[in-house]
Amino acid sequence: MAQSSDSPLPQPPSSSASQASIVSVAQPGNASACLTHTSSLGPWILDSGASDHLSGNKDLFSSITTTSALPTDTLANGSQTVAKGIGLALPLPSLPLTSVLYTPVGLFISWILKMPSFMVILPRKFIWSNLLVLLRRSLYGLKQSPRAWFSRFSSVVQEFGMLRSTADHSIFYHHNSLGQCIYLVVYVDDIVITGSDQDGIQKLKQHFFTHFQTKDLGKLKYFLGIEIAQSSSGVVLSQRKYALDILEETGMLDYKPVDTLMDPNVKLVPGQGEPLGDPGRYRRLVGKLNYLTITRPDISFPMSVVSQFLQSPCDSHWDAVIRILRYIKSTPGQGVLYENRGHTQVVGYTDADWAGSPTDRRSTSGYCVFIGGNLISWKSKKQDMKLICDNQAALHIASNPVFHERTKHIEVDCHFIREKIASGCVATSFVNSNDQLADIFTKSLRGLRIKYICNKLGAYDVYAPA
Whether residue 87 is found in the same domain as residue 190: no
Whether residue 420 is found in the same domain as residue 332: yes
What's the rounded Cα separation, in Å, for the pair 253 and 298? Answer: 20
Whether residue 235 is found in the same domain as residue 380: yes
Residue 129 lies in a domain: no
Report the range of poorest mean pLDDT among 12-26, 305-319, 328-342, 352-366: 12-26
Per the structure, the complete domain to which residue 193 belongs is given by 145-218
Per-residue pLDDT at 256: 92
Q: How confident is the model at residue 28 (pLDDT cuts 50, 70, 90)?
A: very low
Kindly list the distances between the CA atom of residue 445 and the CA atoms of 55, 261, 302, 442, 455, in Å, as whole numbers in the listed order: 64, 8, 10, 9, 15
Kindly give the pairing relationship between strand 54-55 and strand 118-120. unpaired
Per-residue pLDDT at 118: 52
Neighbours of 451 (CB within 10 A): 15
Amino acid occupying residue 364: T
Positive or negative CA dihedral for 395, 367, 359, 447?
A: positive
Residue 114 lies in a domain: no
For residues 358 and 265, the answer to whether their CB atoms sit within 8 Å is no
Whether residue 230 is found in the same domain as residue 290: yes
Neighbours of 11 (CB within 10 A): 12
What's the rounded Cα separation, in Å, for the pair 245 and 243? Answer: 5
Whether residue 210 is found in the same domain as residue 231: no
Residue 107 lies in a domain: no
| Number of domains the chain is built from | 3
pLDDT by residue (tens digit) across 208-251? Answer: 998 888 889 989 999 988 999 988 888 999 999 999 999 999 99
CATH number of the CATH domain containing 214:
3.30.310
Query: Residue 339's closest CA among 413, 253, 230, 434?
Result: 230
Residue 70 lies in a domain: yes
Whether residue 445 is found in the same domain as residue 307: yes
Whether residue 87 is found in the same domain as residue 198: no
Q: Which of 163, 197, 218 is the last residue of a domain?
A: 218
Report the range of poorest mean pLDDT among 34-43, 47-56, 74-83, 288-297: 34-43
Q: Which of 218, 241, 270 is the last residue of a domain?
A: 218
What's the rounded Cα separation, in Å, for the pair 163 and 166? Answer: 9
Residue 119 lies in a domain: no
What's the rounded Cα separation, in Å, for the pair 424 and 421? Answer: 5
Per-residue pLDDT at 232: 83
Whether residue 210 is found in the same domain as residue 233: no
Q: Is the pLDDT of residue 328 over 80?
A: yes
For residues 301 and 366, the answer to whether their CB atoms sit within 8 Å is yes
Residue 116 lies in a domain: no
Give the global pTM.
Answer: 0.65
Q: Which of 68, 102, 136 is the last residue of a domain?
A: 102
What's the rounded Cα separation, in Å, for the pair 391 and 369? Answer: 18
* 3-state per-residue secondary structure call for 259-286: CCCCCCCCCCCCCCCCECCCHHHHHHHH
For residues 31 and 37, the answer to whether their CB atoms sit within 8 Å is no
Whether residue 208 is found in the same domain as residue 254: no
Residue 197 lies in a domain: yes
Whether residue 282 is found in the same domain as residue 353: yes
Whether residue 162 is found in the same domain as residue 240: no
Q: How confident is the model at residue 399 (pLDDT cuts 50, 70, 90)?
A: low
Residue 123 lies in a domain: no
Whether residue 293 is found in the same domain as residue 366: yes
